[in-house]
Amino acid sequence: MAERVAGPEIERLIQLLARLPGLGPRSARRAALHLIRKREELLGPLAEAMQTARDKIATCGNCGNIDTADPCAVCRDGRRDPTTLIVVETVADLWALERSNAVSGRYHVLGGTLSPLDGVGPRDLNLDSLPARVAREGVREVIVAVNATVDGQTTAHYVTDLLSGLGVKITRLAHGVPVGGELDYLDEGTLAAALRQRTAF
Ligand SMILES: [Zn+2]
């Protein structure tokens, strides 16, 4: 084992930082040094923000979003269209859709996808409450905004079956040419999906 250059407290900080997505041991070391150098304006406020987040974070019992209140800010927002419900896999997807500013509805966060190979079944996801929620909130359109993966599409079909008979319109995201994308650079799957889902001018 390499000789330690810092005390156990700093080594622990580096080890924890190295567990963050996108950070390996090298960048964790760099991040730790940066935090230590900026301990007044960065390390202190960061530690406080993390403590507050740990104490206050709650999962919304209505939609599965993460916030500091239950129900969450999205569920409490009266300006949203209550008739549109967007089903997403993760909170990260909810945040991404919110950044796009393209739709004003409420969300239902599944907490993953059905994955028979990994042993993830309907009971493991936030699915049980979905039909009752759709009925109770007067939802007219459910947008199934899941990933274009095999598991995502399995989940989309399950959600469609689950909601059939409730009289709601079920839609899904189009998959195709990204804005600004050049055809030559697309993989065959994306190009094929874009062709299948072509629309009239
Ligand atoms: Zn919520």
**Residue 167: DSSP 8-state:** -
70: three-class secondary structure by DSSP: coil
Please give the angle made by the CA atoms of 149, 104 and 112, to the nearest 5 degrees: 30
20 Cα–ligand 1 center, Å: 26
pLDDT in tens, 77-131: 999 999 999 999 999 999 999 988 888 999 999 999 999 899 999 999 999 999 9
Q: Write down the pTM of the prediction.
A: 0.81
Task: Assess contact for 30 and 38: CB atoms under 8 A.
Answer: no
Is the four-CA dihedral 140, 104, 122, 69 of positive or negative sign?
negative
74 half-sphere exposure, CB direction, 13 A CA radius: 24
The tokens describing 29, both together, are 């070391």
Distance 107 CA to ligand 1 centre (A): 7
